[in-house]
Amino acid sequence: MNYAQAKELLTKYGQLQLLDYYDELTSDQQQKLLSDIQKLDFSVLENLGATHSKELGNLSPADALSVEEIECSKQQYEEAGLSALRSGKVAAVLLAGGQGTRLGSSLPKGMFNIGVTRKLTIFEQQMNNIKEVTDRAGCMFHIFIMTSDLNDAQTRAYFEECNYFGYDPQKIHFYEQKLAPTCSKDGKIYLDEKYKVSLSPNGNGGWYSSLVDAGYAQLLKEEGIEWLNIYAVDNVLQRICDPVFIGATLQSGCACSGKVVKKAAPEERVGVLCKEDGLPTIVEYYEMPPELASLRDADGQLTYRYGVILNYLFSVEVLNKIYRDKLPCHLAFKAIPHIENGVRVTPSEPCGYKFETLAVDIVRLMGSCLAFEVVREREFAPVKNKTGVDSVESARQLLKLNGVKL
């Protein structure tokens, strides 16, 4: 793309500000900027203006397999899960393409050190959790790791440097998700540098389409992988490919399942697994009407009590039918570094939008979902913020509670 073509394209979309500094750039920088502009997906901007919460259909609370019920059938589920793992039917997908802006570290989130007297990164802790399962199963499962262009090289290099934490490198596969432009409140795409468009990961909703685009559908087929367990990088107590969870899901006949915890309080910032017009749906905390969030059953429990922890098991067969369906685009209002009046600024407060599709929206498309309750203190220690709620501090406390030496 040359300057004239870029100018024509940007005029069409009202984004000419991207060329404001073109004349100041070296010719390499000009080429870089033109190439960024050529690759831009302007369609995400159509979602601006739709910042209001979505209209909810007819909501009802979802049932879950409770901790007590699971305990009663634990052995039977576990055997079924271990057998599925041993026959290679299950693989894991680590969602590690996010930027972790709230944590304020420029490293991939998984490289964050949660150790105190020794170094223990989130990646290492999660690989330790995996080892418990692979030791028990006597075999290793495939692990797909989704990164983005912004952290792929660092993530790969870190795994290599750590010798893949003793895991079989042939069973670890990296792939990149897509990026989307970011923009100001009034819809102007930001420049990250005068020669570079501001791009950010386009949410975790594209985890399966990006995996297919990276050519891994063939591997799933060849290896007979029928189920994919996706999990977030930022929960250090994450139980990955948990045999009990797998067994319960297989026996439920559902197309997917999600681990849930009882919400600590009506206002806790987790999505809630509900039924909407009869279909399993995760309603984000900011979309949930407060009167429903605080509704209680006769026994005092929250009616809408099951919060999701981003650990889901999906049937590959069903995913293959729905993964190209359009997912809703969510606008995330964030602090985005950008060029303003010729200077790069790093705001501490949200200033503009990122565009994201979310994995939770796939659950609805799957048609049926088993909610599987787990004990919060054993499985949910999110590392979202530097301090306070869901922070490094709270995650450390929970790790200690679970006997992890920090």
Say whether residue 145 binds ligand UTP (CB under 6 A).
no
Contact 90, 246 (CB under 8 A): yes
Which of these ranges, 22-30, 117-125, 196-204, 242-250, lies near ligand UTP under the rule CB under 6 A? 196-204
Phi, psi of 359 (to 5 degrees): -60, -30
Nearer to ligand UTP (CB atom), residue 61 or residue 205? 205
Q: Which two three-digit tokens encode residue 346?
A: 């790093």
CB 148 within 8 A of CB 118: no
User: Smallest gap, in angstroms, from Cβ of residue 283 to ligand UTP?
Assistant: 16
HSE-up (13 A, CA, CB side) for residue 350: 9
59 φ/ψ angles, rounded to the nearest 5 degrees:
-95, 140
Closest residue to bound ligand UTP by CB: 98
DSSP letter string over 54-87? PPP-SEEEPP-B-HHHHHHTHHHHHHHHHHHHHT
Shortest distance, position 72 Cβ to ligand UTP, whole Å: 32
Q: Are 200 and 99 in contact (CB under 8 A)?
A: yes
Rule CB under 6 A: is residue 19 a binding residue for ligand UTP?
A: no
Work out whether 229 is an interface residue with ligand UTP (CB under 6 A).
no
Please report, in angstroms and rounded to a whole number, the separation of the first and last CA atoms in the chain: 52
Judged by beta carbon, residue 61 or residue 201, the one nearer ligand UTP is: 201
Residue 101 touches ligand UTP, criterion: CB under 6 A: yes
Residue 77: half-sphere exposure toward Cβ, Cα within 13 Å: 21
Q: How near is the Cβ of 104 to ligand UTP at its closest, in Å? A: 9
Number of neighbours of residue 134 by Cβ within 10 angstroms: 19
Q: How far is the CB of 107 from ligand UTP (least distance, A)?
A: 12
Between the alpha carbon of residue 200 and those of residues 163, 173, 175, 180, 337, the distances in Å are: 29, 22, 16, 6, 11
Q: How far is the CB of 247 from ligand UTP (least distance, A)?
A: 25
Nearer to ligand UTP, 269 or 378 (CB): 269
Minimum distance, C-beta of residue 231 to ligand UTP, in the bound complex (Å) = 8
Rounded to 10 degrees, what is the CA torsion of 363, 365, 368, 372?
A: 0
Residue 70 binding ligand UTP, by CB under 6 A: no
> Minimum CB separation from ligand UTP for residue 320, in Å?
21
Among 102, 171, 269, 378, binds ligand UTP (CB under 6 A): 102
Burial class of residue 158 in the structure, from the number of CB atoms within 10 Å of its CB (0-12 exposed, 13-18 middle, 19+ buried): middle
Site for ligand UTP in 175-194 (CB under 6 A): 177
- The Cα 293–Cα 291 span in angstroms is 6
Please select the residue that binds ligand UTP; options are 40, 90, 146, 189, rule is CB under 6 A: 146
Q: How far apart are CA 125 and CA 51, in angstroms?
A: 37
Q: Write down the least CB distance from residue 350 to ligand UTP, Å.
A: 11
Stretch that binds ligand UTP, among 1-9, 31-39, 226-234, 370-378 (CB under 6 A): 226-234
Tell me if 307 contacts ligand UTP by CB under 6 A: no
Q: Taking CB under 6 A as the rule, does residue 198 contact ligand UTP?
A: no
Piece of 8-16, 51-59, 195-203, 312-320 that binds ligand UTP (CB under 6 A): 195-203
Give whichever of 80 and 232 is closer to ligand UTP, judged by the CB atom.
232
Q: Among residues 232 and 256, whose Cβ is nearest to ligand UTP?
A: 232
Beta-ladder partners of 172: 143
Q: How far apart are CA 318 and CA 92, in angstroms?
A: 17
Site for ligand UTP in 230-269 (CB under 6 A): 232-234
Q: Contacts with ligand UTP: how many residues (CB under 6 A)?
A: 21
Beta bridge partners of 184: 352
Coil, helix or strand at residue 158:
helix
Nearer to ligand UTP, 233 or 395 (CB): 233
Rule CB under 6 A: which of 77-96 touch ligand UTP? 95-96
Instruction: Give the nearer residue to ligand UTP in terms of CB position, either 364 or 384.
Output: 384
Count of all residues that appear for the chain in the document = 406
C-beta atoms surrounding 88 within 10 Å: 15
Query: Closest separation between CB of residue 68 and ligand UTP, Å?
Result: 29
Q: Is 199 in the site for ligand UTP (CB under 6 A)?
A: no
Distance CA 263, CA 295 (A): 12
Binding site for ligand UTP (CB under 6 A): 95-102, 109, 146, 177, 201-204, 232-234, 310, 356, 384
